[in-house]
Homo-oligomer: A and B are copies of this chain.
């Protein structure tokens, strides 16, 4: 049990270090030896958890799927908005999320399956749009799969632009502006009128999830 907890800690330390190195240098320039130094673990420990740089990158990309989702909301459009705002907030605050986004846009990471990041994120968004459609929240002309693709692609670009121009300082403003441009041609006006799309909402959702995770999964003692 104690051994297993230590293994999980080591694995997390390696992934966090790798995320930092991938974020900073890109996939191709990052080396296992950089990651060993940053994680302060032995080569044996690293290879016990990950057989290659590729597997580490894949692990970071997969890590995105493990995040707690936004809790169910009565309005599925609000839940979709909260999911997107929370992702923007995580980009500002979580190096693992930043590394995942960077890897999925890194054309030099040729041996890494980068399509997965787009398709996973696409599935999450599409499912929320399907629920919104089933509840009659969307405009009747909407093709859910197409709208999901537009949201995923445009989010990827807006975050990249925020990274280049402000190192993510302005990401919440940019992402709310994006939603203000896309949701009015997607969502019924009365639904839109009660949807909160603000940078402050992103903070509130992140706070809510922190409370929630503390409540349901208390930190293991010592």
Chain A residues in the interface with B (C-beta under 8 A): 25-26, 28-29, 102, 104-108, 114-115, 118, 146-147, 149-150, 152-165, 174, 177-178, 180-186
- Taking a contact as CB atoms closer than 8 A, the residue among B107, B118, B161, B162 that contacts A102 in the complex is B107
Task: Give the chain B neighbours of A28 by CB distance below 8 A.
Answer: 26, 28-29, 108
Instruction: Return the contact of A153 from the options B104, B150, B157 (Cβ within 8 A).
Output: B157
Number of copies: 2
* Contact across chains for A154 and B178 when beta carbons are under 8 A apart: yes
Asked if residues A174 and B153 are in contact (CB atoms below 8 Å), the reply is: yes
Contact between B153 and A161 (Cβ–Cβ < 8 Å)? yes
Tell me which residues across on chain B come within 8 A of A184, comparing CB atoms: 184-185
Write the nearest CB–CB distance from A177 to chain B, whole angstroms. Answer: 5
Most buried by B among A154, A165, A178: A154
Query: CA–CA, A154 to B107, complex, Å?
Result: 19
Q: Are B152 and A161 in contact (CB under 8 A)?
A: yes
Q: How far is the CB of A96 from chain B (nearest CB, A)?
A: 17
A146 to B176, CA, bound (A): 11
Residues of B contacting A26 in the complex (Cβ-Cβ under 8 angstroms): 28, 107-108
> Once the chains are docked, how many angstroms separate the CA of A1 from the CA of B155?
50
Question: Residue on B with the closest CB to A25?
Answer: B108
